[in-house]
Amino acid sequence: MLTMKNVSKVYQTEMVQTHALRDFDLEVKEGEFIAVTGPSGSGKTTFLNIAGMLEPFSSGQYMLDDVNVGALSDNQRADLRNQKIGFIFQGFNLIPDLNLYENVEVPLRYRGIKAAERKKRIEACLEQVGLASRAKHLPQQLSGGQQQRVAIARALAGEPRFLLADEPTGNLDSLMARQVMELLEQINRDGATIVMVTHDPELARRAPRNIQIVDGQVADLTLYQGVARQTDRAVVGG
Amino acid sequence: MLEIKPIINALRRSKVGAVLLLIQIAITTAIVSNAAFIIQDRMTYLQQDTGYPEQDIFSLSVMTYGKDRDLSQQFEEDENMLRNLPGVVDAAITNAVPLSGSGSASGMGLKPAPEPGRSVRAGYLMADDHMLNTLGVTLSEGRNFYPDDVIVTQDPNKLPKVAIATRTFADEAFPEGDGLGKMMYIGDRPFKIIGIVDKMKGPWLKDDRPDNVIIFPYIKAETYQHIIIRTEPGQRAAVMQTIEDKMLAAYDKRVITNVIAMDEDKRQYNASDTLMLRMLMVLIVVLVAITALGIFGLTLFNISKRTRQIGTRRALGARKSDIIRYFMVENTLICAGGLLLGCTAAILMGQQLLQRFSLPALEMQYVAGTALMVLVMTLLAVIFPARRAAQISPSVATRSI
């Protein structure tokens, strides 16, 4: 479904060249739930941005559903993003002047879906995240967890094949984080492919597949998982 | 996809900036449409056809202090001398100069006083049979004065029996359009309209009846008189330069003052209108510029305030054109509200100006024209910031700002 081969991203300033991703290889299969971890500055967000076509890459090949993303125009990328990808952001990124219904409606409007169909989908998605009764509320009237659930509803409304979540629980307390994670797991069970960037080892462990990015490359996962288990045991033993 | 409903909803929830802009647009529309109308009205007034070849005419004033000459005789000699000067077409002594802002007016009765009857107000000029030619106007009906009609006198009891009137005056006095040959009265003194001139303005362009003019064949030999001179085209400046010397050479016990071209005389009379016109134009430019800057600034501010929101919209599938359209529609909606309010205010303001300052009624085309101009201006003011917004990368959505 998603294949990256030798993808590199270089940020160039007058003085410095920064390699955010180097020869990055990854294949994501349909229905997978992948947690992407790594230290700060390792390239997680850059990977997410490139996977979501939010920014261009410098070299390599990226295929999404057999479409060569590198060959697309800005408008084609916007359309593909709208049709195939649902985003869940760490800061929720809800539009403060729009109520929940209108927020969920945003990607559907860009797709040109008719009002009646939009209504059906928005109500179903808000129902799925348990906020149907608060459709007329503004985001600031909700708790952080509720806002993130609205953001998930917005991501789901377009019925994307691919959900990209950037630290979806980063701004939430542990209870709300668990609820959001359970929701994502449910969505994955319903068939959506999910790639989730997270700092939280506990959340990462709940994902069936983990990858770690270090210095812009996929690190040796076996080693990482071993270290993580040892750390866990040490914590438990301590 | 215009997103009108969500944009309206968003504006309702975050209305301070929008309302301020809306008020600014409304005030601009109300003031500019009235100012534009007043400017157009004044422009029409200033550029009106006076009926005179203004660029070839000038006038001067003569103050005679010498007592050793018969004034009537002197004036006749002066006229002959002036009419024979090279470059001069004709010259006439008169009591008042048209367009100068100084002259005499009176009500001309249809019945002799004290009989009750309607009277029509007119500015009057007193001059001889050369006056029409000197002013460059032609008769459309009737005849000019004969030399015998002209009375040159110092005797107040000798009054002319005939007059030449403008068409406007004759038609107001005789609405049937048959004024030629009719009798009218100054007080109880009768005179007959023997000629009609189609277009000719009196001394005061701002008079409510500037076209009501009568010429009497009468020269009152007084120590203070005006002389009007028409020259060949292009000769006026040269004649004006030497006229004082020529007049003093003919008789030196007098003072020649106020040698002034007719168009300059009119310009001085209309100086306050010209100044008002310029001030209104400056006002319009300043107001429109302030409004445009306001829209420009508010849109830029909105963009910087909504950078992440724009990035999020792009991430959710908005094309660059969607972002531009969003800001264009948002501003058009604000502008539409402002124009609605502004057009209403313009009409109300026009009514007040009509009532309080007797200005002509505001024509709707000025309101519509101004509204269109303000709309175009707001769209132009928003294009650059909107294009800048469209350049915001969708990756902003995932970055901390």
User: Which chain B residues touch A81 with a CB distance below 8 Å?
Assistant: 315-317, 394
Which residue from B minimizes the CA distance to A167?
B398
pLDDT tens for B268-278 read: 999 999 999 99
pLDDT tens for A108-147 read: 999 999 999 999 999 999 998 899 999 999 999 999 989 9
The Cα–Cα gap between B150 and A168 comes to 106
- Is the pLDDT confidence value at A228 over 60? no
Confidence of residue B1 (pLDDT cuts 50, 70, 90): low
The Cα–Cα gap between B384 and A13 comes to 26
Q: Is residue B56 part of a domain?
A: no
Confidence of residue A220 (pLDDT cuts 50, 70, 90): low
Task: Dump the DSSP string for B148-213.
Answer: GG-EEES-TT---SEEEEEHHHHHHH-TTS--TT-EEEETTEEEEEEEEESS---S-TTSS-TT-E
The whole-number pLDDT of residue B246 equals: 95
B247 and B320 assigned to the same domain: no
DSSP code at position B390: H
What domain count does chain B have?
2
Residues B174-184 have a mean pLDDT of 94
Substitution target from B316, B387, B395, B400 for chain A, most A beta carbons within 10 A: B316
- Is the pLDDT confidence value at B262 over 60? yes
- Reading the block at residue B152, the tokens are 């040159």
* Range of the structural domain that residue A122 is part of: 2-237
B91 and B183 assigned to the same domain: yes
A139 and A92 Cβ atoms separated by less than 8 Å: yes
B217 and B346 assigned to the same domain: no
| Residue whose tokens read 């348990």 | A130
Confidence of residue A221 (pLDDT cuts 50, 70, 90): low
The Cα–Cα gap between B212 and B206 comes to 12
Which residue from A minimizes the CA distance to B11?
A97
Q: Is residue B261 part of a domain?
A: no
**From the CA of A55, how many Å to the nearest CA of chain B?**
6
A185 and A173 Cβ atoms separated by less than 8 Å: no
pLDDT tens for B308-325 read: 999 999 999 999 999 999
Choice among A34-43, A212-221, B69-78 with the minimum mean pLDDT: A212-221
Q: Which of A226, A89, A32, A23 is nearest to B395 (CA)?
A: A89
Residue B48 is inside which H or E element, if any? none
The Cα–Cα gap between A43 and A22 comes to 9
- Is the pLDDT confidence value at A226 over 80? no
Q: Is residue B218 part of a domain?
A: yes
Q: Which of B330, B268, B265 is nearest to B299 (CA)?
A: B330
Q: Is residue B291 part of a domain?
A: yes
Q: Is residue B61 part of a domain?
A: no
Q: Is residue B54 part of a domain?
A: no
CB contact under 8 A, B1 and A106: no
What are the two backbone dihedrals, phi and then psi, of residue A14, each rounded to the nearest 5 degrees?
A: -60, -40
Out of B193, B218, B252, a domain closes at: B252
Residue spans of alpha helices (H) in B56-161? 71-83, 131-135
Percent of chain B with pLDDT over 90: 71
The Cα–Cα gap between B246 and B243 comes to 5
Residues A199-208 have a mean pLDDT of 88
Q: If you count residue pairs, one on A and one on B, with CB atoms under 8 Å apart, how many are there?
A: 91
CB contact under 8 A, B3 and A154: no
Residue A149's domain is classified under what CATH number?
Answer: 3.40.50.300
User: Which chain B residues touch A49 with a CB distance below 8 Å?
Assistant: 395, 398
CB contact under 8 A, B317 and A158: yes
B25 and B77 assigned to the same domain: no
What domain count does chain A have?
1
Given the cut 0.95, state whether the ipTM is greater than it. Answer: no
B23 and B84 assigned to the same domain: no
- Is the pLDDT confidence value at A237 over 80? no
Nearest to B315 among A45, A54, A97 (CB): A54
User: Which chain B residues touch A82 with a CB distance below 8 Å?
Assistant: 316-317
B40 and B78 assigned to the same domain: no
B338 and B219 assigned to the same domain: no
- How much is the mean pLDDT over chain B? 92
* Range of the structural domain that residue B275 is part of: 4-47+271-398
**From the CA of B278, how many Å to the nearest CA of chain A?**
45
Nearest to B313 among A74, A90, A106 (CB): A106
Residue B361 DSSP SS3: coil
Q: Is residue B74 part of a domain?
A: yes
Residues A49-68 have a mean pLDDT of 94
B94 and B231 assigned to the same domain: yes
B35 and B370 Cβ atoms separated by less than 8 Å: no
**From the CA of B388, how many Å to the nearest CA of chain A?**
16
B31 and B176 assigned to the same domain: no
**From the CA of A179, how many Å to the nearest CA of chain B?**
22
B83 and B232 Cβ atoms separated by less than 8 Å: no
B290 and B393 assigned to the same domain: yes
B314 and B395 Cβ atoms separated by less than 8 Å: no
CB contact under 8 A, A81 and B316: yes
Q: Is residue B126 part of a domain?
A: yes
Which residue from B minimizes the CA distance to A52?
B315
- How much is the mean pLDDT over chain A? 88
DSSP code at position B318: -
CB contact under 8 A, B317 and A49: no
B243 and B277 assigned to the same domain: no
If interface means Cβ-Cβ distance under 8 Å, which residues of chain A face chain B? 45, 48-49, 52-55, 74-75, 78-79, 81-83, 87, 89-91, 93, 95-99, 102, 105-107, 109-112, 138, 154, 158, 166
Confidence of residue B159 (pLDDT cuts 50, 70, 90): confident
- Is the pLDDT confidence value at A67 over 70? yes
B395 and B380 Cβ atoms separated by less than 8 Å: no
The Cα–Cα gap between A190 and A208 comes to 15
Confidence of residue A200 (pLDDT cuts 50, 70, 90): confident
Question: Would you tell me how many other CB atoms lie within 10 Å of the CB of residue B395?
Answer: 20
Integer-rounded Cα Rg, in Å, for chain A is 18
User: Which chain B residues touch A74 with a CB distance below 8 Å?
Assistant: 319-320
Question: Would you tell me how many other CB atoms lie within 10 Å of the CB of residue A157?
Answer: 26
**From the CA of A134, how many Å to the nearest CA of chain B?**
17
What are the two backbone dihedrals, phi and then psi, of residue A63, each rounded to the nearest 5 degrees?
A: -115, 130
The whole-number pLDDT of residue A177 equals: 85
